[in-house]
Structure 1
């Protein structure tokens, strides 16, 4: 019997070793032999890299400059990439007079494209347009000319690791600016850059369910997710495999990559932690062009840094292994009320829960936020907006989303909130008696991810610490500052209450580069507005200064708080501390060790303070300009 037990044990070990191996596209890799006839794609050597502070060359190569690759080199690169090199035009070029003009296409883009997946599947476009520079605006009967602006010069449609390695090596060896893009679901301009070579990982859609996966103390279900998988893809895979996986709430947000590299929040944050907390292994192409597997047993410094230490910083992620859980249901209803001080008998409210008393409205909103820790305590979260409607009118909407709770328990938990809103503030809301139904946390094959359209939303965020909810005076002061941003400033406040503590994160999530402020937070709050097209650099600076003044009121009342980079301000003045916390210096050391050339750069990523985009008009945070070293920067 003993040899038989050994046989079964060996068989099980072999099965576990096979499960979760690299995807087929990751087995296609660049070799030294591939580089022999084209030195521009040779691998890098970190040991012989120039010093980090080397000021030469000061700027990345620029189209038309002496250092820019010649047409022969671009053709040779495309051969090495097996035809994956693209030079796409901005979609809006169809609206401008010239060779690309097409009235039918232009009209479809303006009127119909928002109902499709077009913008997510475009190799250039991002959902936030203002960093591009407004050089090719989408409009019927557009005037002037369309130029590339902040969009990349070339795009590599990566479908193998070999293509990613080739692109990274070419960019490093030819001193090119390099950017990484999946869906373009990006609020700060990280997915674009003038004069750059872009690695587009959007078509790396592979997914694998791993029934048994063991690493360190973890033993359970897992999934391997390709870098191009979107949240809606992920949810549909959950339904197919009868599992749940922590995923972004936005359907077209990439399920891995930038989401987990910063932190990654969603509707299971209070129950299972952040996206970064789910990671068990990462496959990645580094700045020297080499392909690594990074996990608790290999490259421990990178293992710490890649989970929370910033996107577009250390390499190009190709796939990630994440924890998976048994199927989860979520239960929620929308709480909504508004205020219009000018309502009267001749102006009936459109909202049956509308008030005329501003004081009652704001007290009701404060009470709703103050109730959220009870939701967090059972693994749920509150997802809310306070929206200015003009003419001193405002609306408040909130969903209290709770996993794995029965309908009676949900009603028992929420009823006191509704009772207090009724009795204390005379707000006519009621918890529905019917229609509260737990929903499977999965796509059931029905999610498509359609409906995104380029806009110019800007976020300024902070992580509000949990101690505020234990001190009534402190909360009232902070809430007054939130109210000022909406009522005086005219900004929308987006609040998401959750608590991804170290205990919730568990192993290995509790030990990572995630900003420690996340572990103390109970609310992620943002002020949102739209950056209009066509405004001048001076007008942008004035807008920035105004909204930052309101955020500074929060900051004064909550010294030392952090912020979420993915929904933060690219103009954040103390971004090193706000986005990364006390681990920033350690991250810089790791960045310099693994990317001594500074191949990977994006605004507010680790080490990015040593470089700047030099725009023609000084447009703040724009990407329509050459990337150059800051004089005296390291």
Structure 2
């Protein structure tokens, strides 16, 4: 037999593809599974950073080995808190991704002090072991262990993940939340190049959006993040596009990237940019997190800080007809909304807007040094229309001024409004679509868009809390003519990212959950009909999207797949409907009819009685005792 080194490159790829089908799928109990000595050796090499997973709610179960009434009270008081959830490995922001079929460890979010619904606590989709990575060396050693053993890898940061990509049963998890580098450079020299860039920020893989925002604001700079402070800025957000209030002004987060520090599938640390490994750099500027390499540091442009001025309108629609499509009030509002959007986008006004069956909330956000009067001039027609329209019970109609990005994002009213996009401690049902500029043209197109929005709302009539969320945070003024990023091309022609959203809590019957998904998918279907060949934000999407290659990546998919095969030929980096994903029931069992829950492993590793504390801002304090 010829040695692999002598095979043609194309044949090598075929061999690698065949090997990958059986690679990184080793399950506990199988001969390939690492021995206790191997786990101990890994833990020693990591300085004790290999940890046994404790599900967030495990202390509330009397059957659990770490039952603790006092600790349970602490958990219960923070069970729906996204900050607390991001501070531990053993929790996801959305509950459906903690469980695996009927295997789970949850308490009732609405009544966390009450006894758990299920009798026992299991790991569900969480890994039995995880590496609490704090350095590049931790990442390198973890990937080398994965390559040596064939164990499946999962990568988790904050747990903000609507598609459940951050966890996988029967895997070794790499938890990056505690890679926390923060730097600001007035002038930064690019690796492997004589060129430099001005006003460059550097954040480690685990730095949250709020932490990054505050750090750079102290330097007099703003960062192009979203509105939710606990999201990991460099992870799926920073690699999957990343939209926020600065979208019309500066573009997506990936538009700002100038360089990444990464560890590739072969366990090698690399600094990549447009001069050094430009194909991999391009792929990670929009192709999604957890797919091409482990990102350690994200380096990007920041901008001089500006003030935020806003206009907010909140109202209930009175005497709503049985069929929302018959409401002339709602139809008039949406027509005016659609008609106004091109002007707002052209003037760098972003927006966070929420529409329910009998309630509307619109929040226009203008990050700029221009006075409040500028926003008033651009939006007064809209404000006068809303306040003069009969059939509304108005709760808020206000222009406001905030000195900084942080002042706006942490304002009591805005904080809870924006949190709707990232609720902690409940399951989220979400479908999304990018809405192109052409649908805002007066006449037939705009009428069709309004009809589709009303049809979508009507589809969720019987769903409690059903909502249409409209984010005017797209890079509408930044076309990416040089194709410098791999973000879905539909972003560049979109004025909105539009989602239909609902949710549920633990204990909801599966028949009811199925109805929620049916309503949300039916609703987005009306928008899809108007956007053939279009796409959506791959981080705010339907996990069951059938045309996921086109919808998440568009025309970039084939090139992304080629780069994926080059840099990860054995398929070490695998996540649900990421580039290169192929359905495999044995690996995607949490989505199939025969779930396989993670099997708890023997305790191995650190000295008996060792203590460890999970770090992570407010909510820190999960203190566990025991041996690994």
TM score, norm. by length of structure 2 = 0.82
Aligned partners of 1:338 and 1:361 also within 8 Å: no
Equivalent position of 1:263 in the other structure: 241
Residues 575-630 of structure 1: CA deviation (Å, up to 9, x unaligned): 1000000010111111111101111111110011254455768647989579xxxx
Root-mean-square deviation over aligned CA pairs: 3.2
Instruction: Report whether the alignment pairs 1:305 with 2:283.
Output: yes
Q: Which of 72, 90, 94 is the equivalent residue of 2:37?
A: 72
Structure 1 position 116, deviation (Å): 7.8
Q: 1:294-373 alignment to 2 at 5 Å? A: 294-341=272-319, 358-373=327-342
Structure 1: distance between partners of 2:470 and 2:450: 12
Tell me which moved more, 521-530 or 214-223: 214-223
* Gap change, CA 1:447 and 1:120, over 3 Å in 2: farther
Q: Which of 421, 430, 448 is the equivalent residue of 2:386?
A: 421
Aligned partners of 1:385 and 1:492 also within 8 Å: yes
Structure 1 position 104, deviation (Å): 2.8
Aligned partners of 1:154 and 1:198 also within 8 Å: yes
Aligned partners of 1:247 and 1:266 also within 8 Å: yes
Structure 1: distance between partners of 2:79 and 2:264: 36
Structure 1 position 235, deviation (Å): 1.4
* Gap change, CA 1:82 and 1:564, over 3 Å in 2: same
Equivalent position of 1:481 in the other structure: 452
Instruction: Report whether the alignment pairs 1:117 with 2:86.
Output: no
Structure 2: distance between partners of 1:470 and 1:456: 36
Structure 1: distance between partners of 2:553 and 2:400: 39
Aligned partners of 1:189 and 1:603 also within 8 Å: yes
* Gap change, CA 1:519 and 1:148, over 3 Å in 2: same
Aligned partners of 2:585 and 2:592 also within 8 Å: no
Equivalent position of 2:475 in the other structure: 500
Structure 1 position 446, deviation (Å): 7.8
Equivalent position of 1:391 in the other structure: none
Instruction: Report whether the alignment pairs 1:523 with 2:478.
Output: no
TM score, norm. by length of structure 1 = 0.82
Structure 1 position 472, deviation (Å): 2.5
Structure 1: distance between partners of 2:145 and 2:451: 53
Equivalent position of 2:355 in the other structure: 386
Equivalent position of 1:461 in the other structure: 432
Equivalent position of 1:6 in the other structure: none
Structure 2: distance between partners of 1:474 and 1:251: 36
Equivalent position of 1:472 in the other structure: 443
Structure 1 position 549, deviation (Å): 2.5
Aligned partners of 2:24 and 2:572 also within 8 Å: no
Equivalent position of 2:566 in the other structure: 593
Structure 2: distance between partners of 1:612 and 1:256: 30
Aligned partners of 1:304 and 1:513 also within 8 Å: yes
Aligned partners of 2:225 and 2:253 also within 8 Å: yes
SS state at 2:550 partner: helix
Aligned partners of 1:492 and 1:527 also within 8 Å: yes
Structure 2: distance between partners of 1:573 and 1:240: 44
Instruction: Report whether the alignment pairs 1:291 with 2:266.
Output: no
Structure 2: distance between partners of 1:287 and 1:122: 25
Equivalent position of 2:107 in the other structure: 138
Structure 2: distance between partners of 1:369 and 1:581: 25
Structure 1: distance between partners of 2:584 and 2:95: 22
Q: Which of 131, 152, 162 is the equivalent residue of 1:156?
A: 131
SS state at 1:51 partner: helix
Structure 1 position 481, deviation (Å): 2.0
Aligned partners of 2:134 and 2:180 also within 8 Å: no
Count matched residues. 562
- Structure 2: which 5+ runs fail to align? 1-10, 109-113, 600-628
